[in-house]
């Protein structure tokens, strides 16, 4: 090879360890879909119009599926996910989980703001500054909440079992551990949905219901996302995509699931136990 002056340029022989992703339409399509979803939510709240919300949700789900498909294809293309790239992916997942921690800090902050300093709630609203506000019935923490806590803790054990099996080349244990974890995640979501259906308060019932539903509801959403994440890993495990040396997709899902577990423990202790008031009948 020669440059513009006619001098010969020898190649360095060093291969580039970094991977620059191919041009993809999904970031801009995803942003537009999310915008349509937000617009649809506003339309629903103001005019009870569902069409834009449904269209936005469908577009977001389709984008997620197609984008995830491309990422899985990329992960199985030889030479793309080099050791340096895998380190970058791990750092990215750690930073993502850190941002999720701060997301939940806001909800805990709101709850503790009213729970620890409820004096302003007494000004013209309640006779005494207490938390939960007088007349608020709360869940018995040792009933459905305790059951869901045990389910999530058990799911953390089963996903660790699946990881251990993968490291030691036990594909059957990997698949079985993931299947049980997905089943436990579905059970958690079903029980929480039932809990919401029998809740003794509504979202618009005041400060306590608002903080309760925001914190536990967004955690429930994360459980659903984590369950989908693990379900994808389950199908990939059955197809033999993971090896003891290369399985970052599964590791990321396991990290996310453990994060969901830890957040629930804080929610259970702070909101269900410490924040309990007059217990509603079962």
pLDDT by residue (tens digit) across 185-237?
A: 999 999 999 999 999 888 887 888 989 999 999 999 999 999 999 999 999 99
Residue 2 lies in a domain: no
Q: Domain boundary at 80, 104, 129, which?
A: 80
Give Dmax over CA atoms of the chain in angstroms: 90
Residue 1 lies in a domain: no
Residue 279, beta-bridge partner list: 138
Tokens of 26: 């999904």
C-alpha span between 234 and 253 (Å, rounded): 11
Same domain, 264 and 145: yes
Same domain, 76 and 98: no
Q: Is 90 exceeded by the pLDDT of residue 142?
A: yes
Q: Is 80 exceeded by the pLDDT of residue 48?
A: yes
Same domain, 216 and 172: yes
Confidence (pLDDT) at 218: 94
Q: Is 70 exceeded by the pLDDT of residue 179?
A: yes
Q: Domain boundary at 52, 80, 108, which?
A: 80
Confidence (pLDDT) at 121: 57
CB 263 within 8 A of CB 226: no
The pLDDT of 157-176, averaged and rounded, is 96
Tokens of 214: 């925001």
Q: Domain boundary at 64, 80, 96, which?
A: 80
Same domain, 107 and 19: no
CB 282 within 8 A of CB 206: no
Residue 40 lies in a domain: yes
The count of structural domains within the chain is: 2
Confidence (pLDDT) at 145: 95
pLDDT in tens, 75-114: 888 877 788 888 888 999 999 999 999 999 999 998 998 8
Q: Residue 59 — pLDDT band, cuts 50, 70, 90? A: very high
CB 103 within 8 A of CB 244: no
Same domain, 69 and 91: no
Residue 132 lies in a domain: yes
User: The whole model's pTM is what?
Assistant: 0.84
Containing structural domain, residue 113: 86-279
Q: What is the mean pLDDT of the chain?
A: 87
Q: Is 90 exceeded by the pLDDT of residue 124?
A: no
Domain CATH for 55: 1.10.287.70
User: Quick one: residue 73, left, alpha or beta (phi over 0 = left, psi -120 to 50 = alpha)?
Assistant: alpha
Beta strands 137-138 and 278-279, pairing class: parallel
Angle at 198 between CA 216 and CA 46, to 5 degrees: 65
Residue 165 lies in a domain: yes
Domain CATH for 199: 1.20.120.80
Same domain, 47 and 119: no
């Amino acid at each position: 090879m020669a440059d513009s002056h006619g001098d010969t340029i020898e190649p360095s022989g060093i291969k580039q360890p970094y991977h620059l992703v191919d041009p993809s339409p999904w970031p801009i399509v995803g942003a537009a879909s999310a915008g349509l979803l937000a617009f649809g939510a506003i339309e629903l709240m103001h005019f009870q119009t569902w069409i834009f919300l449904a269209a936005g949700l469908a577009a977001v789900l389709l984008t997620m599926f197609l984008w995830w498909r491309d990422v899985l294809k990329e992960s199985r293309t030889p030479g793309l996910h080099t050791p340096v790239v895998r380190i970058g992916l791990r750092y990215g997942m750690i930073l993502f989980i850190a941002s999720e921690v701060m997301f939940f800090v806001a909800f805990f902050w709101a709850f503790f703001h009213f729970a620890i300093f409820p004096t302003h709630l007494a000004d013209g609203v309640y006779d005494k500054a207490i938390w939960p506000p007088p007349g608020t019935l709360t869940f018995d923490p040792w009933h459905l909440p305790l059951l869901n806590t045990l389910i999530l803790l058990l799911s953390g054990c089963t996903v660790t079992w699946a990881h251990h099996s993968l490291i030691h080349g036990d594909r059957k244990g990997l698949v079985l551990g993931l299947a049980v974890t997905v089943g436990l995640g579905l059970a958690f979501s079903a029980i929480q949905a039932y809990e919401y259906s029998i809740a003794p308060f509504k979202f618009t019932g005041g400060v306590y219901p608002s903080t309760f539903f925001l914190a536990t509801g967004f955690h429930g959403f994360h459980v659903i996302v984590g369950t989908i994440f693990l379900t994808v890993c389950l199908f990939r495990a059955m197809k033999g995509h993971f090896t003891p040396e290369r399985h970052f997709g599964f590791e990321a899902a396991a990290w996310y699931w453990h994060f969901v577990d830890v957040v629930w423990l804080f929610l259970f202790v702070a909101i269900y136990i410490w924040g309990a008031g007059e217990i509603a009948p079962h």
